[in-house]
A and B are shown apart, each in its own frame.
Chain A
Amino acid sequence: MRLAWFLLAGMCVCIPRATAGQDRDFASSVDAVTLAVVQPILDAATRDSLPVQALRSKVLEGLAKNVRPAQIGQVVAALADEFRSARSALRTGLPPLALGDGEVVAAAMAARQEIGFDVVRALLESRPNGGSLEVPVTVLSELVRRGVPVEEAATLMTHVVRTAVPLGLAAQIPGKFDGALGAGRPPAAALVEALRALNIPDPPGRDPPGRDPPGRRPPG
């Protein structure tokens, strides 16, 4: 029990220090004009428990690409709003601790592909072990970007998450899909081929073209 209190006290001391260190690193990397523009946005994001590190990265990306401070401010404010919407939508009906920064960022990026928050929430609810959804949501977005209908991609990725398909394997789906598509397969067949190549079982209820129905396969 004393050890637990000691660890808790240590965390209370160390976490603010780590945050303060990150703040200092960030402040030293950003010019005064840009900092003046983005600091209020970052402060508000911190208050709202948004993924502040992702917002800081967006600021640094803008500086690296020689973007004007005002435009950086606009982009970061818009991104913070996207995070705010994603966090608010995903928190509905979920315990607060179930949501990490990675999930919020991934959900916001998925929303840009017109993948609804309800789809991402269904993915969150289907994970058996509380693991990170950053990769599954990214794969889902990539499949939609490649022309796979949202419902079909969502069914597949929900199945992947629910059956605990290794994420390293799941993340290869878009690449295998590209290969099949490049070989001339239509999207639906390309997705089937990608799953076969990775030895991922089909989600229930799917009847992929070109595959024999159960009972007609030769025995053995």
Chain B
Amino acid sequence: MSPRDDWREGIARSTDFRILLVAAFVLSIGMLSPAKGWAQAPRWEIDLNASRIEYDTMAALNAPSISTLVDWRRPSLFGRLSGSVTGFQNAGWSTQGRGDLAGLFSPFGVLNPVRIELAGTAGGSRHSSGFNSFIAGVDARLHVRGRSVGGWAGASLTSGRNSFDTASVMGAAPSAGLWAQRGPIRATLSYLHTRISGEFYPEVDFTFSLSQGALDLTVYGGLRRSPFEGPGLHESWAAATAAIWVHPIAALVFSGGQYSSDIFQGLPGGRFVSLGIRLTLRRVRPIPIAARAPIIYTPEAARAGSIGFEVDGARQVEIAGDWNGWERVPLAQDATGRWVVPVGLAPGAYRFNLRVDGERWIVPEGVPQMDDGYGGRVGLLIISNQQ
């Protein structure tokens, strides 16, 4: 029997294809339906992957998978749902799911750099053998945010269990982190001091992200110390994912590396390489594009058609607003890199948005803005009639 036949037999024997079909059907309907339903459509991605995985507890095996991710961002709310179905060569199949919800509060006003974040997470997995696991956690953080650097300190409480153990594992961890962003690059460093059953598991994690042109690259890794001595107890891991966008709605995804064990759910770590395709309604960059603008424009600037915006890393910027019935007008860049509005506007107040790279509608930073009623924000462009 060839390896291909071996794989097919394994899948046929142990994978209920109806689950995969239902999942694919639901996800496909989901992909089609929100196009007209969301003003600020959420990020919605489906990955189809062919992977080779070597868990710490078993030999390497082939593993096709389908996974999806939806996230929804508002200025003070963030939600994410993700899930996957994976078939394993001669080893059944598994499903995984996870939900995250976080609220951001500005107790000292929106321009004050201090934010409070309260977040909750719940997730679980199920294997065709009957094994299942569950995890839930809450997290509170105090953020200090600058334009390009920031940090946080907080604490989390996490509980997990699996069907092999009768008791759940509960841990508490103070945490702290730093981040920095410059143009299309962002780096994050965080520290967790997890305490489980009186023992400490200190952990350092890093993430590096780059979004430039057609490439979205994420490199992440970490180091966790165990209170016990023994082979494999101290863990280190690192992995990378590169998405190359070959079409506005499709990317080739390459990933590989190691991932850590999950001490709350009792899931093993492992090594993997994966090749896949990512489909989406529109590309959403992992690093939001920042834009800056002054708050008020002079009549001279309006008359000369020299109103412009800085939008970091944008390839295409369009403007739409009250003055022309919300028709999108492409902007051209001047010598300094600003995107220039090619229309002279009469004095008044206009509602407007920028559309960047055909993706999301944004409001340039610094411009007066308000809820647009459609799930996003709309900016206000003021052309003063007096000097």
Contacts and interface: CB of A to CB of B under 8 A. Distances in A.
B384 A58 contact: no
Nearest to B325: A60
Contact of B109 (A63, A67, A187): A187
Interface in B337-387: 348-349, 351, 353, 361, 366, 368, 370-374, 376, 378, 380, 382, 384-387
Interface string A73-109: 0010011000000000000000000000010011001
B111 interface: yes
Interface residues of B, number: 43
Contacts of B348: 102, 134
Query: Most B CB atoms within 10 A — which of A64, A71, A72, A134?
Result: A64
A135 B325 contact: no
Interface in A141-162: 141-142, 145-147
Contacts of B296: 168, 171-172, 175
Query: Most B CB atoms within 10 A — which of A26, A171, A174?
Result: A171
Contacts of B325: 25-26, 29, 57, 60
A174 B368 contact: yes
A175 B295 contact: yes
B108 interface: yes
A109 B384 contact: no
A166 B109 contact: no
Interface in A40-76: 54, 57-58, 60-68, 71-72, 75
Nearest to A78: B373
Instruction: Specify the main secondary structure of chain A where it touches its partner.
Output: helix
Query: Most A CB atoms within 10 A — which of B39, B353, B361, B372?
Result: B39
Query: Most A CB atoms within 10 A — which of B35, B41, B368?
Result: B368
B37 interface: yes
Interface in A1-44: 25-26, 29
Contacts of A166: 386-387
B306 interface: no
A156 B108 CA distance: 21
A138 interface: yes
Interface string A165-207: 0111101101100100100000100000000000000000000
B111 A178 contact: yes
Interface string B277-299: 00000000000000000111011
19 contacts: A60-B326, A61-B353, A66-B36, A72-B374, A105-B349, A109-B370, A112-B371, A132-B385, A134-B348, A142-B295, A146-B111, A147-B108, A147-B112, A168-B387, A171-B296, A171-B382, A174-B295, A175-B294, A178-B295
Given A168-B298, A168-B386, A175-B296, 19 more contacts: A26-B325, A29-B325, A57-B322, A60-B325, A61-B351, A71-B39, A72-B374, A112-B371, A134-B348, A138-B368, A138-B382, A141-B368, A142-B295, A146-B111, A147-B109, A166-B387, A167-B384, A167-B385, A175-B366
